[in-house]
């Protein structure tokens, strides 16, 4: 059961305008093969960005970024690499929670370890840029 909308632990309804804005930017990225809204483009609650796996080792079978953005300014950007033998994931979050500050990062490889996160801005395009920079840095550090 979800908390009431005025609860201090509620993230609020999806911010469809921001999800569409982020989809337009992700769709233009060279690393992205395609994007999709869940459940549909008319009432999006979740944005999936599927990466072109040719930028990754042959054992990588899928790479995606799942984006949730809420009218409260809360968000979750969950990056997942799936390979034939493992899954590597991390997450940038802003939401009320009992484990850390509202803005926090879940470390790879399994997102279990969490630390407080300081972002220069919570504007959607700034957060998007921070996350894409981190993903591109991972590619450069590990496979290019």
Please give the DSSP secondary-structure letter assigned to residue 12. -
Question: Residue 6 — very low, low, confident or very high, per pLDDT cuts 50/70/90?
Answer: very low
> pLDDT at position 4, please?
45
Rg of the Cα trace of the chain?
15
User: What pTM does this model have?
Assistant: 0.91
pLDDT in tens, 96-110: 888 888 999 999 999
Mean of the pLDDT values across residues 8-25? 89
Residue 57 CB burial class (10 angstroms; 0-12, 13-18, ≥19): exposed
Mean pLDDT (the chain, rounded): 91
CA-based nearest residue to 66, from 47, 85, 83: 47
Please give the DSSP secondary-structure letter assigned to residue 118. -
Please give the DSSP secondary-structure letter assigned to residue 42. S
Q: φ and ψ at 83, to 5 degrees?
A: -125, 180
Cβ pair 90, 81 in contact under 8 A: no
Percent of the chain with pLDDT over 70: 93
């Amino acid at each position: 059961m979800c908390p009431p909308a005025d609860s201090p632990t509620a993230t609020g309804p999806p911010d469809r305008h921001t999800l569409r804005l982020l989809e337009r930017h992700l769709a233009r990225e060279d690393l992205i093969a395609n994007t999709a809204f869940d459940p549909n483009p008319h009432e999006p609650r979740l944005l999936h960005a599927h990466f072109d796996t040719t930028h990754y080792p042959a054992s990588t079978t899928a790479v995606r970024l799942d984006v949730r953005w809420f009218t409260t300014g809360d968000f979750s950007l969950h990056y997942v690499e799936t390979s034939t033998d493992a899954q590597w994931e991390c997450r940038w979050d802003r939401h009320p929670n009992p484990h850390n500050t509202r803005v926090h990062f879940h470390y790879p490889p399994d997102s279990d370890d969490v630390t407080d996160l300081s972002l220069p801005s919570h504007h959607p395009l700034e957060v998007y840029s921070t996350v894409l920079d981190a993903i591109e840095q991972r590619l450069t550090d590990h496979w290019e």
